[in-house]
Structure formats: C-alpha cells, structure tokens
Structure 1
Amino acid sequence: MADATFEEGGEAPLNLGALTGEDLQVISSLTQDAVFPVTEMRWEAKRFRFALLLNRFRWEDSDAAKARGRAYERVQSLLVIDNVLSVASQGVDRSDRDIILSLLDVSFEPGEDGTGHVLLTLAGDGVMRLSVEALGVTLRDVTRPYQAPSGKAPGHGD
C-alpha cells in the first residue's frame, strides 16, 4: 500500500511557529499523542536549540478521515525549541536506546522578562523541562503522511 499524500487529505504540510503561550497551545494540540524514539531528541547547546523528530498523528485530518472512511494518518514532523539555555528531564531513561516516548502536552511557564520554561509532558509521568531565554517553537512536517500503523485515532479513555 502506498503512502497517503497531502493532496488526499486536503491539507498542506504544517509549518507553524509559536512566540506566545497561546500560539504554543495550537502546536501542543497538533503534537498530542506524537511518538518518537528516545534517540530522536537532540539538544544543540552551542546553538541553544532542542529538537525532536516526531511521528505525529494528523489531528487536523482526523475528522475528514473518519467521515470518508479513510485511514487515519501520521506524519514525521520536526518540533524545534529555540533559545534553550538548559534541559532537564524526569522519568525519561535516555540510556534505553529502544524506548519509544509519547508526547501528551507542550506548555510554557513564563518567567521574568520573556524567559520561562517549555514543558514537554510525556506518557508515563515523564517530563522534559527546557529553560528558555524567550519562547520560540516551530513545528514542521518533513515527510508525506502515512497510514497510522494502529489504524485508530489515539484515545485517552474518555
């Protein structure tokens, strides 16, 4: 079976930026339930940049897929946080190179004068805390969509 195309989903690849907490809520909703191997996290300290290569569920296409009886899709996306001064994690075993993480939420805790912390909340009580000089986050799709391996939309036991 061939990969789905952006044209079939009626959507263009996402390329979004967030400079405010409100902007970040949009990115958070689009990255909810994204999965990624622990090996796909990079902090480039000299460039003040933290990046994740995510397998993102295409929430923006899920209603259309359901209505048309079409398969749900995922797409690989690059989530980049700029202006990062430090990175801390809790509940994330980065030594286990085979672990797959699931992103639940991306939020911003503002500090003084534009500083603050970007929080990446993971399933299983894991969290990454990125201290930032200023909020600057981008989300960009980098591959064509592909059929979600589970064939289902993620659920949270609602």
Structure 2
Amino acid sequence: MTDLKLIALDTEDLEVVSAHLQDAVVRVGDMGFARKDRRFAMLLNRFDWESDQPRKKGLRKRAALHFDAVRSASSAGFDVNARDGVLELLAIHFSPTDLPSGVIELSFAGGATVRLHVDYLEARMADLGAAWSASGRPQHALD
C-alpha cells in the first residue's frame, strides 16, 4: 500500500487531487488559514478509491492538504466555531479571475463551502501513513 503524494499547479492537476479527496471527511477544527504564512491547510480522512485491497468497505487514509499564496479565506454553510463538526468533501474547483490569480472552492455535502482567494494555484496533498478499514463505502445517487 503506497502513500499518495500529489501537487497541483493547474486546473487539470487540481481535478486529480479533487478526485482522490472525494468523500474525505474533515473536522472543522482540523482546517485553518495561517494568514501570516498565506497558507490554508487541513487534515482529512480520505477514502482510498485507488486501493487494490479487496475489502468490501474499503480503506480510509489520513492525509494532509494545503494551498499556498492564499490572500484570504471565507466559509459558508457551517459553523467555524463548532470545532468537532465534521464535513464531507465533495470537490475542489479553481476559477481564474486575473490569471494566475483565482478562487479555489472546496465544496462539502450539505452546501457548505470554503473559498480561497489565491495569487496562483499551488496545492499539495500527501498521505500521512495511517490507514484503516472504512466503516462503509461512500455512495452517491445518480440523477
């Protein structure tokens, strides 16, 4: 079982990161914006979609994700003070404003979002080594 390490420097790279983090769960208290460092970081428990382990329920892995060159961060749809609250990540998108600047949007189940205004797109994701059997395999209704 190999640990995954990814970097995103353009929208295509970010789509790959987003796909690997789909259905990751994150505690509200495990994400934050370090204004002085211009970095937004979070710890997640991602579902290991690429695992070749023949487990019916699959695996979860502890992972870290951070974005650099962040000018500002905002959130909507959840209480940032509910540090034990849990969000389920659905997707990550980048919308250019004045290239290379743009807005990164992290979309969570239930309509919650985090928006990051960045000077340029640079994201890094890495597994942290811990892995365990998932309590269930994420499922999505197809419209």
TM-score band, normalised by shorter chain? over 0.9
TM-score of the pair, normalised by structure 1 = 0.86
Q: Could you tell me which residue of structure 1 aligns to residue 91 of structure 2?
A: 105
Alignment of 1:1-158 (within 5 A): 6=1, 12-61=2-51, 64-65=52-53, 68-69=54-55, 71-148=57-134, 150=135, 152-158=136-142
Between the two proteins, what is the percent identity of the paired residues? 38
SS of the aligned residue for 1:25 comes to helix
Q: Could you tell me which residue of structure 2 aligns to residue 3 of structure 1?
A: none
- Give the helix-richer structure, 1 or 2: 1
Which structure has the larger Rg over C-alpha atoms?
1
Mapped contact 2:32–2:42 kept (Cα < 8 A): yes
CA distance in 2, matches of 1:147, 1:69: 8
Specify every segment of 5 or more residues in structure 2 that has no aligned partner in the other structure, as ranges: none
For residue 143 of structure 1, report the CA deviation from its aligned partner.
2.3
For residue 118 of structure 1, report the CA deviation from its aligned partner.
0.5
Provide closer, same or farther for how the CA distance between residues 104 and 69 of structure 1 changes in structure 2, counting only shifts above 3 A: closer
Mapped contact 2:62–2:131 kept (Cα < 8 A): yes
SS of the aligned residue for 2:12 comes to helix
**Any idea what the Cα deviations from partners look like across 1:13-71, whole Å, max 9, x if unmatched?**
0110000000000000000000011000121111110001000000111xx33xx3465
Aligned positions, number: 142
CA distance in 1, matches of 2:32, 2:55: 37
**Any idea what the Cα deviations from partners look like across 1:85-124, whole Å, max 9, x if unmatched?**
0001110211222211110000100111300000000111
For residue 146 of structure 1, report the CA deviation from its aligned partner.
1.1
TM-score of the pair, normalised by structure 2 = 0.94
CA distance in 2, matches of 1:71, 1:90: 31
SS of the aligned residue for 1:51 comes to strand
Q: Which amino acid aligns with 1:34?
A: A
Across the aligned residues of Structure 1 and Structure 2, the Cα RMSD in angstroms comes to 1.2
Provide closer, same or farther for how the CA distance between residues 129 and 69 of structure 1 changes in structure 2, counting only shifts above 3 A: closer
